[in-house]
Amino acid sequence: MKTGNMSPKKADIKKKQKTGSARFVRSRGRSTLCRPSLTPGCPGRAPARFLSRPLHLRAELVRPQSAATGRSLRAATGREGGEEEDGALRARFLGGRCEAAAAAAEASGERAAVSSSRDALGRALPAPGRRWRGGRRAMSRRRHSDENDGGQPHKRRRTSEPSEIEERLESLICRVGEKSTSSLESNLEGLAGVLEADLPNYKSKILRILCTVARLLPVKLTVYTTLVGLLNARNYNFGGEFVEAMIRQLKECFKVNMYNEAVILVRFLSDLVNCHVIAAPSMVAMFENFVAVTQEEDVPQVRCDWYVYAFLSSLPWVGKELYEKKDAEMDRILSQVENYLKRRQKIHVPMLQVWSADKPHPQEEYLDCLWAQVQKLKKDRWQERHIPRPYLAFDNVLCEALQHNLPPFTPPPHTEDSVYPMPRVIFRMFDYTDDPEGPVMPGSHSAERFVIEENLHCIIKSHWKERKTCAAQLLSYPGNNKIPLNYHIVEVIFAELFQLPIPPHTEVMYTTLLIELCKLQPGSLPQVLAQATEMLYMRLDTMNTTCIDRFINWFSHHLNNFQFRWSWEDWSDCLSEDLDKPRPKFVREVLEKCMRLSYHQRIVDIVPATFSVLTPANPACIYKYGDESNKSLPGYNVALCLNIAIKNKASNDEIFTILKDVPNPNQDDDDDEGFSFNPLKIEVFVQTLLHLAAKSFSHSFSALGRFREVFKALAESDEGKLHVLRVTYEVWKNHPQMIAVLVDKMIRTQIVDCAAVANWIFSPELAHDFTRFYIWEILHSTIRKMNKHVVMIQKELEEAKARLAKQHKRRDSDDDDYDDDRSSDREDGPLEEQIERLQEKVESAQSEQKNLFLVIFQRFIMILTEHLVRCETGGIDVITPWYKNCIERLQQIFLQHHQIIHQYMVTLENLLFTAELDHHILAVFQQFCALQA
């Protein structure tokens, strides 16, 4: 880029140099464009000797060096990766600064130049932990100081140098093992040398970084264990300190219930045995202590499950080494595990299965599946072909290193605050027959299948907040030419999406991730995804209702991003089935969701005319007082007057005056509640108001807010609240989304309460839509609102108590002041009263919460019992589509809100789920209890 003969002003130059994008620099009387970041150690600024040359001479500096020179420079500086890896990993640990620089370089079309200049620029970089010294480097620094600071030393550079070196160490460690022009072994050896030289000054920093990457980057586990092994061979004391730091980190994970991270740490420690850092007997002793937990009494089964899983899941990495040195002890441990697996309860499994049928793929409990994989691995003499093992290249060095014994480790005892991971069922969708042309997919009981799935899950966990990075990392998984990677990725993503009770991450993340994967692999991954969708559709009959909900959400969102294109004719077989069957219901709900994301006519146009029976109805408001043929309806004339009054912005008092003339069908009832509750008055008002506000969601919200006092007066009783919901459904029965948002708004404005919504959902008026998706969307939203309300009040109470404790602490520290007690009493009085009020509110909110769950479960028991009695007396099969849907909705309530429901287990067991209850219903409660038993 040229700027003509004009040179920028000196102030302008300084301003441009501070920005992160392209900058102008002055060189030999003319302006030239330089790259935003040429020196990794100094972002946005190239070496002075580089910038002092004209553009045509700079090319000499950026020509690639020979392979040998490049390797030696990388070994000296630790630069084993490219700018892309540097940016991605630095972004994770350093806030994305290098990623922004890499993005700017890419935008200016100079990434290739940056990559090709990597070796040459290594000459201008100091090795980590060393200062710039001697010759042209010192002169360049002095010249830079002279030009910018008038001859004064560059103070900012000098004071920030330690932090810059620490950041560079972090970057070097984090990106090792990524794509590189040199071998991983040479990179590891060079990095070990750099870190060894920096241990005297930065030992604590290096220890902290290594412990962090061991926990957060499990995909590169063997890379970091090899690095630690090399450091241990060079510095025995450092190896011992690292092992102690890892044990401390493991204990801290136990203390804060981070059991998923603890599994990774145990696996890392076990792989250190392969690198001759930890002695095999001490590792076996730790595993013996782990498995001994299965002999404890009065502890949850999930506690024993976790320790067994931590042991078994480490064996693909270290099983061979441990068996070679301690075969008798390992046989004894495996025998104890086998005995435990035989006696453990598995009542919970049906509640967690995605499919109720085991064909074509069995849905195994996770410990049973892992045990089968370990047994096959043992049968194969612990030969595993997928884990990279870079330490084998350094065997002659590592085998001579002194080993460390793990300190005695006893699993912490179980406490009431201990929260262990819930059991799960392994999701299987594909096998080797689904991709006959590509590489063979490992069998479901092979250790390779476990390792691949574990690593893909770890990649998603590390990058789930950045869909583009996550998709790129998944597709660049090492060894992708040896396995059908696309099939593994799709299966793992759906396994997480359908995981019960809840997915590991928000559902919409999986949608965006699959969209990104389709963009990156347009020639292959969409076909695999379409094949998976077809398989899921064909197995809907046995699929869990909760998983069908997630399938509906994902598929409709995915179609919305691809112009709703789908071969609907391939699913025309569902038109001949009963509309209550899973496949027709699925298509209907997908089209309903698509209409929410688009509009009605668009959906009518995209599906064939034969699907009209499943196409959503036109979402229009049904106003029964708008047709002159309904003049004979009670309240018709009042509705007309009310219509005019609302249009004229009548006040609440005027509305009450108009409604005063509406007759009360319940006025002959003896009870006071029946006399005060006027269903016709509610019907006239709600019908008219919702009709006038039908233009949009905003109009409806505004109407509810404006006439909130009228609503509260009309719906003062429980029956009144229920009738408001009934009328709302009558008006918007063709617009499920409007019903959902209006009910949500009514709860927020306290027009209706959560218990009223629960009673309305199980009322006979909604029997026709009882199995519809939006009904359960409303119920779960209602439960979540109640739970959030309780949490919010509890938080206010804790904050008030904290303020009071702070005042008391301040008073105790100022006890020398004689007047302090009297003034503190005056300060504490209002706060103590506030705490009392908040405690009453918390108790009231918890009582409402308990009542809500009691109402929901009581209604479930009533309708299920009626169905079972009706089928028994009529000689009909109990297992109908309605029954399957209803019983799995009951399971869904238990699973999605399990943390709250556990607080009321005793009440539920004593009042509702008693021994006299039908075994079909009681089995659901027993399965739920077994999850944390």
* pTM over cut 0.85: no
Alpha-carbon distance of 725 to 742, in angstroms, equals 9
Looking at residue 130, its pLDDT comes to 37
User: Are the beta carbons of 758 and 855 closer than 8 angstroms?
Assistant: yes
Residue-wise pLDDT for 663-715, tens only, equals 887 765 444 444 468 899 999 999 999 999 999 999 999 999 999 999 999 98
Q: Contact at 8 Å (CB) between 536 and 529?
A: no
How far is the C-alpha of 410 from the C-alpha of 653, rounded, in Å? 73
Rounded distance between C-alpha atoms, residue 145 and residue 664, angstroms: 91
Where are the strands (E) in 788-828, listed by range? none
CA distances from 668 to 140, 467, 665, 677, 714 (A): 101, 64, 8, 12, 18
Q: Report residue 823's pLDDT band, with 50, 70 and 90 as the boundaries.
A: low
Burial class (CB in 10 A: 0-12, 13-18, 19+), 442: buried
The dihedrals phi and psi of 750, each to the nearest 5 degrees, come to 65, 30
Q: How far apart are CA 698 and CA 238, in angstroms?
A: 64
Phi, psi values for residue 815, rounded to 5° = -70, -5
Distance CA 360, CA 433 (A): 11
Residue whose C-alpha is closest to residue 516's, from 546, 475, 481: 475
Comparing 358 with 129, the larger pLDDT belongs to: 358
Crossing angle (nearest 10°) for helices 467-475 and 485-497: 140
Structural domains of the chain, ranges and CATH numbers in brackets: 164-174+182-384 (1.25.40.180), 444-562 (1.25.40.180), 571-617 (no CATH), 636-666+676-786 (1.25.40.180), 787-930 (1.25.40.180)
Residue 544 pLDDT exceeds 80: yes
Please write the tens of the pLDDT for every residue from 771-813: 999 999 999 999 999 999 999 999 999 988 888 888 878 877 7
Average pLDDT over every residue of 496-511: 95
CB 472 within 8 A of CB 463: no
DSSP one-letter string for 353-422: -SBS--SSS---BHHHHHHHHHHHHHHTTT--SSS--GGGGGHHHHTTSPPBPPPP--PPPP-TT--PPP
Q: How do residues 234-292 score in pLDDT, each as one tens digit? A: 999 999 999 999 999 999 999 999 999 999 999 999 999 999 999 999 999 999 999 99
Report the first-to-last Cα separation within the chain, whole angstroms. 70
pLDDT for position 822: 54
**C-alpha distances out from residue 928 to 29, 550, 852, 895, Å:** 79, 21, 19, 8
CB 631 within 8 A of CB 652: no
Task: Give the pLDDT band of residue 435 (cuts 50, 70, 90).
Answer: confident
Peptide bond into 360 cis (omega under 30): yes
Average pLDDT, the chain: 82
Tell me what pLDDT residue 632 has. Answer: 83
Question: At 26, which helix (H) or strand (E)?
Answer: strand 23-27
| Number of H-type helices and E-type strands within the chain | 44, 2
Nearest C-alpha neighbor of 213 from the set 165, 163, 180, 169: 169
Structure tokens at 451: 């390792």
Backbone angles phi, psi at 746, to 5 degrees: -65, -35
Q: What is the pLDDT of residues 199-230, one digit of tens each?
A: 888 899 999 999 999 999 999 999 999 999 99
Residues 786-816 as b/e (b if ≥16 CB within 10 A, e otherwise) read: bbebbeebeebbeebbeebeeeeeebeeeee
**pLDDT class of 182 with cuts at 50, 70, 90:** confident
What's the rounded mean pLDDT across residues 314-319?
94
**Would you list the DSSP string of 741-771?**
HHHHHHHHTTSS-HHHHHHHHTSGGGGGGTT
